[in-house]
C-alpha cells in the first residue's frame, strides 16, 4: 500500500477536492469547509476501503494525511492505540 494510492482514495471521495491538492503533509482539518462530518467521512472511507476502523482517540492523534496513512498501515499490520 502506497501513500499516493491512499491520497487518491481520499480525493476520489471528496468531489469538491481538486486532484493533486493533497500531499502527505496536508493538514486534513485545514481542508476547505472542514467539519465534524468530514471526520466521519474519513473514518467510513478508511474502514470501507481498508477494513480499518479508527477510534476517536486515533483520529484525534492524526494531524496530516501521512499520520492517517501511517495509523491505517499500522492497524492493517495489527497495531494501533487500542490494538
Partner 1 sequence: MGASIKYISYFLPPLAIDNVALAKGYPDKTPQDLFDISGVHKRHIASEGVLGSDLALNAVRSLVLENSDFSLNEIDFLIFSTLVLDYNSPTTASVLHRKLGLNLNCGALDLPQGCTGFLYSLSLASAMISAGNAKNVLILLGEIPTKAIHHDDIALGSIFGDAGAALVVSENQTSKIGKFVFGTFGEGFDFLKVEVGGGRNPINSEWIKKYDDQELNLPYGRIEMNGFEVLRFALKEIPGLLDRTLLMNNISISEIDFFVFHQASAMILKSLQRKCDIPQGKFISYFEESGNTVSCSIPIALKKGADDNRFKKGDKIALIAFGIGFSCIGTVIEW
Interface contacts to partner 1, rule CB under 8 A:
36-37, 39-41, 43-44, 47-48, 53, 55-56
Nearer to partner 1, 23 or 48 (CB): 48
The residue among 27 and 41 lying less far from partner 1, judged by its C-beta, is 41
DSSP line for 19-58: TT---TT-BGGGSTT--HHHHHHHHHHHHHHHS----HHH
Spatial contact of 28 and 42, defined as CB atoms under 8 Å apart: yes
Q: How far is the CB of 45 from partner 1 (least distance, A)?
A: 8
Comparison of 23 and 60: residue with beta carbon closer to partner 1: 60
Residue 82 CB partners (closer than 8 Å, separation 6+) = 55, 57, 58
CB 29 → partner 1: shortest distance, Å? Answer: 15
CB of residue 8 vs partner 1: minimum separation in angstroms?
16
Per DSSP, what are the bridge partners of residue 64? 27
Amino acid at each position: 500500500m502506497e501513500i499516493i494510492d491512499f491520497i487518491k482514495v481520499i480525493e476520489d471521495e471528496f468531489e469538491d477536492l481538486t486532484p493533486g491538492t493533497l500531499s502527505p503533509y496536508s493538514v486534513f482539518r485545514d481542508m476547505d469547509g472542514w467539519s465534524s462530518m468530514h471526520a466521519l467521512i474519513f473514518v467510513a472511507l478508511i474502514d470501507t476501503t481498508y477494513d480499518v476502523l479508527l477510534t476517536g482517540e486515533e483520529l484525534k492523534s492524526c494531524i496530516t494525511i501521512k499520520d492517517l496513512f501511517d495509523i491505517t498501515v499500522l492497524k492493517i499490520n495489527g497495531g494501533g492505540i487500542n490494538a
